[in-house]
Chain A
Amino acid sequence: MSRKLHTFKGGVHPPEHKAESNARPVHAAPLPKQLVIPLRQHIGNPAKPVVEVGQRVLKGQLIGAADGYISAAVHASSSGIVTAIGPAVVPHASGLPDDCIIIDTDGRDEWISLAPLDYRAMEPADLRMRLRDLGLAGLGGAVFPSAVKLDPGAAHHCPTLILNGAECEPWITCDDVLMRLHADDILQGVAIMRHLLGSTEILVGIEDNKPEALASMRFAAAKLDFAVEVVAVPTIYPAGGAKQMIEILTGQQVPSGKLSTDIGIQVFNIGTAHALARAVHHGEPLISRLVTVTGFVLRPQNVEALIGTPLHTLITLAGDREGSTGVLMGGPMMGMPMPDLAVPVVKATNCILVQSAELFPPLPKALPCIRCTRCADACPAELQPQELFRFAKAGDFGRAQEYHLFDCIECGCCSYVCPSHIPLVDFYRYAKSEIWAREKEKRAADLARERHEFRQFRLEREKQEKAEKLAAKAKAKRAELAAAPAAEGAPSEADAKKALIAAALARAQAKKAEAAPKNIDHLPPDTQREIEEIEARRAKIRELARQPLESEEKP
């Protein structure tokens, strides 16, 4: 291909380690006894459970409905009984539990009936809602609901569609294998994306360390009735970052703080395209994905795993070994350590990387920053990581933000090259979550201030209204009374006042009479007697209570 490629600034080239896992055949992971399906697998609102404990569900049945526009549904990955809906440990850096639906599988793997979608005949908005209900979300790592990304918005079309097959993280090969085996399906998905986005230029970027995937995709692309350009891009981490891929292929940069669609480009992971094709042509919800199981295992390989399968099932399949020092979800650059091997495979799980002391030696102790700016040279976002580190460490988050902390993509290049071995990304994540928390706190404080001020205002207003009402009433009364004696003779201020008081007294009497307890009318005689007895006793007690006082006063 003769396309002129561009380069992005920075980047690193860690050892690739792709050969371990991309040569073995793909197996389907065994059906686990229990599936744990988190309701929050995507960016946006978590899904809302629509099943009950004890209910039998079929494979592919909707169990959590999308909640709002930026959300995606979740489905049962196999048939079985829902045994619990509640918190369970999920793959998250915090190790905190989150709401999940737990299904005890019955081994029958019984599907619900599936119906393909005729995407050309459907309204785009309806199609997108169907895709949201089929649980489609980006499989590249960020897990953004695909339906939202497939909305070209007000522009009504998105001229350039980029398929991201870079897979730049070391060790991971699931996209590589998917492209080798299912190039046709992937491009079917691309056809649907093209239909929804109205794209005219379609580019597939694949790192040049995957010649088989490139060949397979080119072969499949040649069979299509529309042009798809499969481009080999240089192997450099993070070429698979969406913004970096855009720059390599088009030479354009996504303006800071904007979306790629603002410059007419949308990027999808190739796994998402595959899932989209399955969803549209077979009506299949997103209930499984390819996962690379590699690192310190006997048979590193890719497996087709159901969403909700516990990690240890996959590690056992790949052959676990004595002496592993931990398990990562994702690659070594951006992955996160798993608190527990019972955590399930989720839509974001591209890789399970088993660590050993030999493959991943413990990181050396950090030294102070010597401002050598290797991090700045490696930063693909073209930031000044050494300054961000200084501000984050000092807790000067405002300055960190001024130095564009939020443009950091947390790719880890800076930490990778740091000669002082400082865990820089940690500091950025810390600073970001601190800023978000403060932002939230500030919003809460502003709301509280507003509500408090409104309350003060309301109380003041109520007081004023009451006073006004009273004044108006008094005035009316006075006028009325003034009018009455006027007929009799000379009205005087004092008379009017007296009359007012008299009227008020009369009103109070009337009210008292009205307010007299009604529950003592028409009582049966014995109850009446009882009441009288009680009243008598009360009077006596009152009398008794008064006496000592008087006696004390007398002497």
Chain B
Amino acid sequence: MFTAILVMVGLAVIIGLVLGWSAIRFKVEGNPLAEKIDAILPQTQCGQCGFPGCRPYAEAIAKGEADINQCPPGGEEGVKKLAELLGVEPKPLDESHGTPKPKSVAFIDEQICIGCTLCIQACPVDAIVGAAKQMHTIVADECTGCELCLPPCPVDCITMVPIAEDLPHWKWKAPVIMLKKVS
């Protein structure tokens, strides 16, 4: 009886030490889960999920405060990836946060732009250049298509232009093998 208690206590001490040691030895800075979630999110920074950017949304998911289906730019595929990472069932996108759209970039009609800088302040990735009373323009390569610049524009000179498929962006289509009968 006494031996048994001793053994159990001894085991508990040893395991505790191992756990304590590994907690120090393998300490991970930051929140690795939020980071992994953030890596999956498309970084559009559009805020459609209800959070001010992709990172806060990732942190909210990691804490269990937000669902995984609130990111329209990530689409169904993004939801699937998140579900895979978190080991939960994928679910359809929550329509209340918007629907996926074809990838677009913003375009400023420079004839109409009055140079108010409101869009520059709204852009989450600083992809708009210009100064007060100077015409603005969008750096298309850096635009994420978040549409955050549309509402503040007082003269509605910004439009979203879908990215057209051209030769450098063309992709081979998934081949289809029709085994089943076409019913």
Contacts and interface: CB of A to CB of B under 8 A. Distances in A.
**A adjacent to B, CB under 8 Å:** yes
Interface of A: 40, 90, 92-94, 96, 98, 365-368, 422-423, 426-427, 429-430, 432-434, 437, 441, 444-449, 451-456, 458
Contacts of A365: 178
Contact of A452 (B53, B165, B167, B170): B53
B174 A452 contact: no
B123 to A, nearest CB: 8
Nearest to B42: A445
Given A40-B167, A366-B177, A447-B142, A452 B54 contact: yes
A448 B55 CA distance: 12
Interface stretch (B24-32, B63-71, B124-132, B154-162): B124-132
A449 B43 contact: yes
14 contacts: A422-B177, A427-B175, A430-B175, A433-B172, A434-B171, A437-B171, A441-B42, A447-B142, A451-B127, A452-B55, A452-B124, A454-B126, A455-B124, A458-B126
A426 B171 contact: no
Contacts of B127: 451
Nearest to B77: A395
A455 B165 contact: no
B125 A455 contact: yes
Given A430-B173, A452-B43, A98 B167 contact: yes
Contacts of B124: 452, 455
A448 B175 contact: no
Interface residues on B, range: 20 to 34
Contacts of B53: 452, 456
Enumerate the 10 nearest inter-chain pairs by beta-carbon distance, A residue then B residue, closest first. A445-B43, A448-B43, A451-B125, A426-B175, A429-B172, A433-B171, A94-B170, A430-B172, A433-B172, A449-B43
Nearest to A448: B43
B174 to A, nearest CB: 5
A94 B125 contact: no
A40 B125 CA distance: 32
Contacts of A98: 166-167
B142 A96 contact: no
Interface of B: 38, 41-45, 53-55, 124-127, 142, 144, 165-167, 169-175, 177-179
A451 B55 CA distance: 13
A434 B167 CA distance: 15
A448 B178 contact: no
B171 A448 contact: no
B125 A448 contact: yes
A90 B167 CA distance: 10
B167 A448 contact: no
A449 B38 contact: yes
B119 to A, nearest CB: 14
B38 A448 contact: no
Contacts of A433: 170-172
B177 to A, nearest CB: 5
Contacts of B125: 448, 451-452, 455
B45 A448 contact: yes
A96 B167 contact: yes
Nearest to A430: B172
A365 B172 CA distance: 20
Given A445-B43, A452-B125, A423 B167 contact: no
Given A445-B41, A455-B126, 6 more contacts: A93-B172, A96-B170, A366-B179, A426-B175, A449-B55, A456-B53
Contacts of A434: 171-172
B171 A92 contact: no
A503 to B, nearest CB: 29
Contacts of B41: 445
A423 B176 CA distance: 9
A452 B179 CA distance: 47
B174 A430 contact: yes
Nearest to B167: A98
B166 A448 contact: no
Nearest to B52: A456
Q: Which of A368, A452, A455 gathers most chain B CB within 10 Å?
A: A452
Contacts of A446: 43
A359 to B, nearest CB: 24
B175 A452 contact: no
Given A94-B170, A98-B166, A448 B177 contact: no
Contact of A96 (B55, B126, B165, B174): B165
Q: Which of A368, A437, A441, A448 gathers most chain B CB within 10 Å?
A: A448
A448 B126 contact: no
Contacts of A366: 177, 179
Contacts of B38: 449
B114 to A, nearest CB: 20
A92 B172 contact: no
Contacts of B166: 96, 98
Contacts of A454: 126
A6 to B, nearest CB: 34
A406 to B, nearest CB: 14
Nearest to A434: B171
A525 B173 CA distance: 76
B172 A448 contact: no
A427 B53 CA distance: 36
A448 B144 contact: yes
A499 B115 CA distance: 40
A415 to B, nearest CB: 11
A75 to B, nearest CB: 21
B167 A92 contact: yes
A414 to B, nearest CB: 14
A434 B166 CA distance: 15
A451 B174 contact: no
Contacts of A441: 42
